[in-house]
Amino acid sequence: MTDAAAVRPPERVAAVEAYGLRRSFVQGGESVEVLDIAALCIPSGAIYGLAGPSGCGKTTLLHLCAGLLPPSAGELRVLGTELPLLPQHARDRFRARHVGYVFQRFNLIPAVSAIENVLLPMGFANVLPVAQRRERAETLLRRVGLGHRLHHRPAALSHGEQQRVGIARALANRPALLLADEPTASLEAGRSDAVLELLIEVASEAGAALLIASHDARVLGRLEHVLQMPVFNGVAPAPS
Ligand SMILES: Nc1ncnc2c1ncn2[C@@H]1O[C@H](COP(=O)(O)OP(=O)(O)OP(=O)(O)O)[C@@H](O)[C@H]1O
Ligand SMILES: [Mg+2]
């Protein structure tokens, strides 16, 4: 099998395309199906919300789209690549190069500074010339309002600042797909609006598709397209 991570995804393929996508987990000795999506299409460069009650499978779907979790069944193409068919190392490489993930709990590396946290995925993906990486990391951190916090470790940053380092890190390798899991869950209203604006702005500037899982009615109310789970979980949605 060729290493699909070495190939830039074609420009206009759908960001995410899935058919008969299922995922189950073993819980208490029984297999429980948590996701059953008949069809899903998120166009390239589109901005979508992902809504639904706790436990309906939002994080599971984001993990599938990032190749962090394999589906139990079904087809899943991410930026034109059948992610579940890639071997693990190629999936990891594909994610590093093409997918940005904003984790709900930031998942920053505590032992290194903000700028090192942004540089790490650049080293792993190895797409940008080494000489350009530090400048890009600084630019991204300035872009999220952290030009004055480049050398602070995560523990020395506020919640909102850590969230913004996570956003800068997710953008490090110019992803064509940006996945954000409850990016505003622990922020107050004013901060939540700013983080949402920032995500939309940076995704739009880069032409990246953006999928935001959220419980927050304020966030979902700002988005033109919202996939409502589990209503569309098992029923074909009608993406526009
Ligand atoms: N590794 C796992 N093992 C067993 N069950 C799991 C695992 N991961 C998720 N689940 C189950 O799958 C279901 C969906 O979980 P998921 O985290 O995707 O929900 P969610 O919609 O993101 O919820 P929340 O809004 O609370 O973040 C839950 O019932 C959860 O318990
Ligand atoms: Mg979740």
CB of residue 55 inside a 6 A radius of ligand 1? yes
**204 found inside a domain:** yes
108: domain CATH number is 3.40.50.300
Burial 127-150 (b: 16+ CB within 10 A, else e): bbeeeebeebbbebbebbebeebb
Instruction: Please identify every residue whose CB atom is under 5 Å from ligand 2, which is an ion.
Output: 58-59
Range of the domain at 151: 45-70+87-228
Burial class (CB in 10 A: 0-12, 13-18, 19+), 197: exposed
Reading the block at residue 113, the tokens are: 């500074």
pLDDT tens-digit map of 14-72: 999 999 999 999 988 999 999 999 999 999 999 999 999 888 999 999 999 999 999 99
Biggest distance spanned by C-alpha atoms of the chain: 52
Instruction: Quote the number of domains for the chain.
Output: 1
**94 found inside a domain:** yes
The answer to whether 54 touches 215, Cβ cutoff 8 Å, is: yes
Q: How far is the CA of 58 from the centre of ligand 2 (A)?
A: 5
pLDDT tens-digit map of 79-95: 999 999 999 999 999 99
Atom 9 of ligand 1, nearest CA residue = 60
Atom 31 of ligand 1, nearest CA residue = 55
**14 found inside a domain:** no
CB of residue 100 inside a 6 A radius of ligand 1? no
Tell me the three state secondary structure of residue 63: helix
Q: How far is the CA of 54 from the centre of ligand 2 (A)?
A: 7
**195 found inside a domain:** yes
Q: Report the pLDDT value the prediction gives residue 238, as an integer from 0 to 100.
A: 47
pLDDT tens-digit map of 84-123: 999 999 999 999 999 999 998 889 999 999 999 999 999 9
Residue carrying the six token digits 């589990």:
230
pLDDT tens-digit map of 170-206: 999 999 999 999 988 767 777 788 889 989 998 998 8
Angle, in degrees to the nearest 10, between helices 159-170 and 130-143? 140
Reading the block at residue 54, the tokens are: 């706790």
**1 found inside a domain:** no
